[in-house]
């Protein structure tokens, strides 16, 4: 007779890890980053806190894994060779910025993470920021810098303004007001105008180069 397998947190490791990660998100959404304490995370997940150390090594590593799972740019991986041959990065950048603009609207936890980055200096946050920079570095150095040549830094500055604007226009209406420059960021109409502007600005930069 086969031995009965008893289900539980030790045997069902992946399920337990997902519950611990979900607990981080719930606390971040409700209490903010100040609530991310090991005992609180364990209590919300419904497990002993020793499992955090057993499965992740530390609370910081658990939080680090959660943050990376929410960050759009950490998963952004355009086809470098395809972009070199076709749009010189224009398609990848446009689609990436538009996707991030929409993603940040829906993801309240990511909004909290961005605010956390702006208000505290922590190794796990600096690591995330550097990972975002590394993703952009690959695209800039291999595609847009060679294409734009002496105007490469100017193009980077244009993208920096667009991306930072996309962040701010999601954070601003989430906390204090819905309108910015008379555009309601809580309506599809207002957001559509921003999306069209993103496309037009990136396109303008490429058209000017041509």
- Other Cβ atoms less than 10 A from the Cβ of 118: the count is 10
* Spans of all domains in the chain: 13-67, 71-209
Residue 154, pLDDT > 60, answer: yes
pTM of structure: 0.80
- Dist. CA 176–CA 67, nearest whole Å: 24
17: β partners: none
Residues 92, 78: contact at Cβ < 8 Å? Answer: yes
Residues 102, 63: contact at Cβ < 8 Å? Answer: no
In the block, which residue shows the tokens 């997902």?
18
Q: Which tokens belong to 160?
A: 């920096």
Residue 166, pLDDT > 90, answer: yes
User: Pick the residue with more confidence: 6 or 76?
Assistant: 76
Quick: pLDDT tens for 48-61. Answer: 999 999 999 999 89
When the candidates are 3.50.50.60, 3.40.50.150, 3.30.70.1450, 1.10.10.60, the CATH number that belongs to 13-67 is 1.10.10.60
The lowest-confidence range among 8-12, 33-37, 121-125 is: 8-12
């Amino acid at each position: 007779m086969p031995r009965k397998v008893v289900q539980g947190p030790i045997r069902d490791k992946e399920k337990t890890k997902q519950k611990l990660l979900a607990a981080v998100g719930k606390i971040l959404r409700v209490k903010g980053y100040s609530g991310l304490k090991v005992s609180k995370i364990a209590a919300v997940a419904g497990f002993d806190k020793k499992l955090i150390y057993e499965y992740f090594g530390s609370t910081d590593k658990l939080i680090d894994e959660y943050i990376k799972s929410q960050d759009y740019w950490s998963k952004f991986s355009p086809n470098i060779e395809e972009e070199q041959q076709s749009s010189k990065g224009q398609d990848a950048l446009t689609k990436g910025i538009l996707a991030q603009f929409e993603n940040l609207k829906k993801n309240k936890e990511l909004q909290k993470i961005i605010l956390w980055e702006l208000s505290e200096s922590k190794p796990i946050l600096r690591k995330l920021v550097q990972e975002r920079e590394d993703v952009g570095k690959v695209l800039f150095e291999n595609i847009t810098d060679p294409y734009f040549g002496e105007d490469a830094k100017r193009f980077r500055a244009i993208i920096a303004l667009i991306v930072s604007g996309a962040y701010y226009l999601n954070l601003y209406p989430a906390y204090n007001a819905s309108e910015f420059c008379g555009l309601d960021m809580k309506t599809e109409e207002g957001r559509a105008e921003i999306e069209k502007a993103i496309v037009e600005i990136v396109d303008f930069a490429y058209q000017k180069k041509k």
